[in-house]
Amino acid sequence: MTEILAEPDQTAARIREYARENPDLRKNRYDGREGTVDGLCYPAAEAYYHAKDGRETDLRIYCLSWSDVNPDASGTHWYLRDGETGPWIDLGLEDAADAAGIPYAEGRHRSFMTGYDRPSKRTQRILEDLGLAEDTA
């Protein structure tokens, strides 16, 4: 089994802490989950990708459509992988043990909704507030 990392380094820890402290980053359908990273997989993954110099690294972007796993499910889950066979990086988990039941390999390699080079507004806010936005504008 491939390793799952919820907090691979200090940059990830800072992004996750910021997300916990700023529940307004969360889309409305995830209201009521304050104090967690639940519902923040997209901006957390995107912020980490850009903070680590995006395309200049081996980080790969993945999106799992829950309806591909269960026809009655909806929504998506965003995460990264370090290279072709490295660990999965899922900043949207409270703890790596929460990864049970997430079929990471069934996700699709893709770009973020705003592409590879331009962070979304939520992500740009995270990067700017944490002083990680040097080359992401």
Domain spans, the chain: 4-129
Task: Count each helix (H run) and each strand (E run) in the chain, helices first.
Answer: 4, 5
Give the whole-angstrom CA distance, residue 42 versus residue 75.
12
Contacts of 104 (CB under 8 A, 6+ apart): 2, 4, 62, 64, 79, 81, 88, 90
pLDDT at 33: 56
Mean pLDDT of 108-132: 94
What is the 8-class DSSP label of residue 64?
E
Tens digit of pLDDT for each residue in 27-74?
A: 765 555 566 788 899 999 999 999 999 888 899 999 999 999 888 988
Q: Is 5 a residue whose pLDDT tops 80?
A: yes
Q: Any idea what the Cα angle at residue 135 is, between residues 132 and 137, rounded to 5°?
A: 95
* Token digits of residue 118: 């331009």
Burial status of residue 108 (CB atoms within 10 A of its CB: 0-12, 13-18, 19 or more): exposed
Check if the beta carbon of residue 107 is closer than 8 Å to that of residue 63: yes
| Out of 31-40, 67-76, 81-90, 119-128, least confident range | 31-40
